[in-house]
Amino acid sequence: MNKHGQLADFLQARRGQLRPEDVGLRTYGERRRVPGLRREELAMLAGISAPYYTRLEQGQSRNASREVLDAIAGALRLDDSERAHLHALARAPRRPSPVVQPRVERITPATSALLAAIDGTPAIAIGRRADVLAWNRPGHGLFAGHLDPDSPDDPDRRPNMARLVFLDAHTRELYADWPAKARAVVGNLRLTAGKHPTDPLLASLIGELTMRSGQFAEMWADHRVLACDVADYEMRHPLVGTVTVTQQTLQNPQGDGPTLVVATAAPGSPSATALTLLAHATAPREATLPRRGADIRTTT
As a whole number of angstroms, the distance between CA 192 and CA 25 comes to 34
Beta strands in the chain (DSSP E): 123-126, 132-135, 230-237, 241-250, 259-264
Residue 175 is predicted with a pLDDT of 97
- For the chain, what is the largest distance between any 2 Cα atoms, rounded to a whole number of angstroms? 97
More confident residue, 245 or 32: 245
Q: Where in the chain is the domain with CATH 3.30.450.180?
A: 109-285
Entry pTM: 0.78
Label residue 160 by pLDDT band (50, 70, 90). Answer: very high
In CATH, the number for domain 6-91 is 1.10.260.40
Percentage of the chain exceeding pLDDT 70: 85
133 with 107: CB under 8 angstroms? yes
What pLDDT, on the 0 to 100 scale, is given for residue 7?
Answer: 83
Contact present, 281 and 239 (Cβ < 8 Å): yes
- Predicted confidence (pLDDT) at residue 56 exceeds the cutoff of 50: yes
Residues of the chain with CATH 1.10.260.40: 6-91
Burial tier of 96 (Cβ tally within 10 Å: 0-12, 13-18, 19+): exposed
Confidence class for position 1, pLDDT limits 50, 70, 90: very low
Q: What is the pLDDT of residues 113-122, one digit of tens each?
A: 999 999 889 9
Of 253 and 223, more confident: 223
Helix, strand or coil, per DSSP, at residue 202: helix
pLDDT for the residue numbered 260: 93
pLDDT in tens, 229-242: 899 999 999 999 99
DSSP 176-193: TTHHHHHHHHHHHHHHHH
- Of 86, 140, 128, 102, nearest to 249 (Cα)? 128
- Which is nearest to 6 in space by CA: 45, 47, 59? 59
CATH number of 109-285: 3.30.450.180
Express each pLDDT in 35-50 by its tens digit: 788 888 888 888 888 8
Mean pLDDT of 49-66: 82
